[in-house]
Chains A and B, each alone.
Chain A
Amino acid sequence: MLQKKICMLGSFSVGKTSLVRRFVESIFSDAYQTSIGVKVDKKVVRVNNQDVTLVLWDIHGEDVYQKIHMSYLRGMSGYLLVIDGTRRQTLEDALALNQRVIQEAGKVPAILVLNKSDLVDKWEIDSARESELAVAGWTILRTSAKTGASVEQVFSQLAAATLAE
């Protein structure tokens, strides 16, 4: 079966692990448990009448304590750049990380994921900024690992994009 390596990238506590757990196991926990290192999961999705195994690399959030080994991105078909909508800084950090990712892995399909859409009242990223990012060429999706909103969609959409490459 066709396999696609998908990396989850972004700052710490943006919800990368929660998105994967929601997608793979349909589970969500409100308690924040920080990730150390990498965890690889697999899930088969059907895209354009074709089964594809997504090999999901949930990579720890980057911060002052842990840097991402760029070798983790080897063979990556696409990635989700995850942002916590309630923390504006996670967007800026993600965009900086994205530059390094492109340098290392070249241009591959990617989606900018504005996570925590259930907390939109507390968001620090306004629609004007979102529009700017869309104009800059980003595919943007708002998700909530808590409610499950758009979680399936974001993985399916990325899978489809990797197939189209």
Chain B
Amino acid sequence: MSSHSIVESFLTSQGYALFESLGKSEFLIIGACPAWCRDIFELQSRTTKRFRLADNSPFLENFLVDAENYWNSKSERSVSSGNWIERDKSGREIPLEAFALSLDKRKILILRNLSAHFAEQQQWFQTARDSLLAHEQLLSEIQKKEILLHCIVHDLSQPLTAISGCFNLLRLENLPPPAGKYVEAGQRESQRQELMIRGILSAFSGDLIAQQSSDKSGAPPPDLAVCAQQAIEEFSSAFKDKGVSLRFTPPPNATSDWHVVGDAPRLDRIFGNLLENTLRYSPANSTVTIGVEDQGESVLAFVDDEGPGLPPDLPPAQLFALFSKGKSHSGKAGLGLYFCKITVERWGGTIGAETRAQGGARFWFRLPRASEKSYERTPADKHEDSATTVASPPTSPRNQPSKTLRILVTEDTEINRELVSELLTRRGHSVTTAADGIEALAALERNSFDVVLMDEEMPRMNGLDATRAIRKMETATGRHLRIVGFTGNATDEDARRCLNAGMDAFVAKPVRMDKLYQAVESQPEALQQVSQTQSVPDTPVPASTNQPAAEDESVAAHLHRATGGNKTLQRSLVKTFLTDAPKTLSRIRRAIAKKDAQKLAGAAHAFKGSIAIFGAAKAVSMARGLEAMGRSGHLFNAGPQFRALESEFTRIRPELLAIYPPQKHKSKAKRKAKSRRAR
């Protein structure tokens, strides 16, 4: 056998068929034509050496155009067709690949049967793509949880609007000094709670995104010494109650710079968590000391106590693990120290704990210093601060604005609508209200306004769509109406969404009186700054004295607390709710039946907002679940969830009827009917 025929035999055994192009789509076989090749391309004659290969293969026909271009070029690299599938006479699928190359000025076409390796290749691609699909699925699940988290945060913020509004109204009264002080304390606490709720969102929502946004937020890095002293101020009364002395050890080099990498709200939480933990283990008449130390490139903060020290059988690192609790289980969920660890490490720092030689425990963390550039204050920064300082005279509640404004308040939750309207009316502004985007657009057609306050989430038409519609109409008139958004979730993403929709600024819920006045009365160019300073507390936050509402609190007790005992307001709220709730439940039922996710989200959101006024934590949670299902578009569990919500509504209905009995409905209805007849 000649060496030539050995090569041909080898190529044939490896699944290759070689042809030479004769032009006009004709090919001459080189060596023996493999059986698979005859089968696929229907090359019947065993003696003929000339074939028209592409007559039965549109794919090969297409490739021969590329091959001809290549043969006519002077390119040295061969050209490949990529994989394709042909069927042989029996219908079996054969994977192939074609190559065109030039050898000694001869136009050579090689066909390769890939069957031998195709299963392996297929398996490889299958595994890789299955992994990609699994990854996509995981991301989608995370997104759904993010949506749920946003719903929860939104709900937690919602009652604060009412609480804050009530405090704002109380501040307008001439209260005697002790009462005024209590109102201020209450207001500070509600602001603190608001910050904590946002903290939850920024800490646990999309770790990577939160990290990126915190790194690029432009907020100045925190001063560790200032944060430590604020923590003492915040916790001093709680420590005092337990008979523990809390003090700050001034650093020996008081002129040092204590700015560190991180952000102030989360640094406050780290100090808060460490102090709560320390308080739990500190005996009465002992002292807890907070201090900071200059360590060159980094700064150390520590909390020393005089308690029993660390458990001898527990490695210190274990204390910071997820769901780790002390032996006595005196802590909460085991998240506090874990939060400290992940946050400090995220900022490039370290955290630890040890038993002190002189007794007691030391909890410490070390953070890298912030670069000087990152907190140098420019004149522009200072101007910004002065423009948005909350206590500045123009926004003081008792100072009247320079101009009375016509304001359209668009908000779906009635109690929030009432409170915001009341605040603005007392300020001397003229207020019109709308319950959703459609009503707002109708009001704008009828009347002129200077400012529109627009809730972001509303049924029928949300605030973003309404804003877009207003901006679209303005393209014809050339006017620009100031629109200030309300949003329950004050993240950068929310801000971006509001501003992208065409809003000039947004005010986070719960609305604070001073921020509200500032937003509606500011010049347009200053408006956006209102939103940028939302999470900055006005004053150091004192120790918490407010107790959160108990989950099992009765509807009557909750309503009494929320309305300050105002019976007329209570009856009015119950009446509105009992009239609207069955309709809203019907909307939810219809949306589920029609699998209309968007309508389900809207109706569930409305129900949740209205029932939240009465506490009803279980019903709120169920409605929240339905809303989340609507937002994610996954309705498979919506039916059972809705039935549970209906039962819960039936359960609390008698309590509501006790506040506003049916006969009152009737007598009022009768009075109305009577008055209509009289007219």
Contacts and interface: CB of A to CB of B under 8 A. Distances in A.
Interface of A: 5, 12-13, 32-34, 36-40, 55, 57, 60-61, 63, 65-66, 69, 71-72, 74-75, 87, 89, 120-124, 126-128
Contact of B82 (A38, A57, A123): A38
Given A33-B126, A122-B633, A63 B132 contact: yes
Given A75-B62, A87-B136, A121-B634, A36 B122 contact: yes
Contact of A36 (B58, B83, B633): B83
B422 interface: no
A32 B128 CA distance: 13
B83 A121 contact: no
B669 interface: no
A71 B121 contact: no
Contacts of A124: 140, 633
A37 B136 contact: no
B85 A38 contact: yes
19 contacts: A13-B129, A34-B122, A36-B95, A36-B118, A36-B121, A36-B125, A37-B85, A38-B82, A38-B83, A39-B93, A40-B84, A60-B83, A71-B62, A71-B63, A71-B66, A74-B65, A89-B136, A126-B598, A126-B633
B597 interface: yes
Interface of B: 57-59, 62-63, 65-66, 81-85, 93, 95, 118, 121-122, 125-126, 128-130, 132-133, 136, 140, 595, 597-598, 633-636
B121 A40 contact: no
B125 A127 contact: no
A63 B95 contact: no
Question: Which label, helix, strand, loop or mixed, suits the secondary structure of the A interface?
Answer: loop
A15 B136 CA distance: 16
Nearest to A61: B129
Contacts of B59: 38, 40, 57
Given A13-B133, A34-B129, A123 B62 contact: no
Contacts of B636: 121
B62 A74 contact: yes
A124 B261 CA distance: 38
Given A71-B66, A121-B595, A121-B635, A34 B84 contact: no
Given A13-B129, A63-B132, A71-B66, A39 B595 contact: no
Nearest to B596: A127
A88 to B, nearest CB: 8
A139 to B, nearest CB: 23
B633 A127 contact: no
Contacts of B597: 126
A60 B81 CA distance: 13
A126 B634 CA distance: 12
Contacts of B118: 36
A117 to B, nearest CB: 12
A160 to B, nearest CB: 22
9 A-B pairs with the lowest CB-CB distances in the bound complex, closest first: A37-B83, A39-B85, A38-B84, A37-B84, A34-B129, A34-B126, A34-B125, A40-B58, A12-B129
B641 to A, nearest CB: 14
Given A39-B93, A123-B633, A126-B597, 17 more contacts: A5-B58, A33-B122, A33-B126, A34-B122, A36-B83, A37-B85, A38-B82, A38-B85, A39-B85, A40-B59, A66-B125, A72-B82, A74-B62, A74-B65, A87-B140, A124-B633, A127-B598
Nearest to A73: B62
A151 B66 CA distance: 33
Given A40-B59, A71-B66, A89-B136, A63 B129 contact: yes
Nearest to A89: B136
A98 to B, nearest CB: 20
Contacts of A120: 595
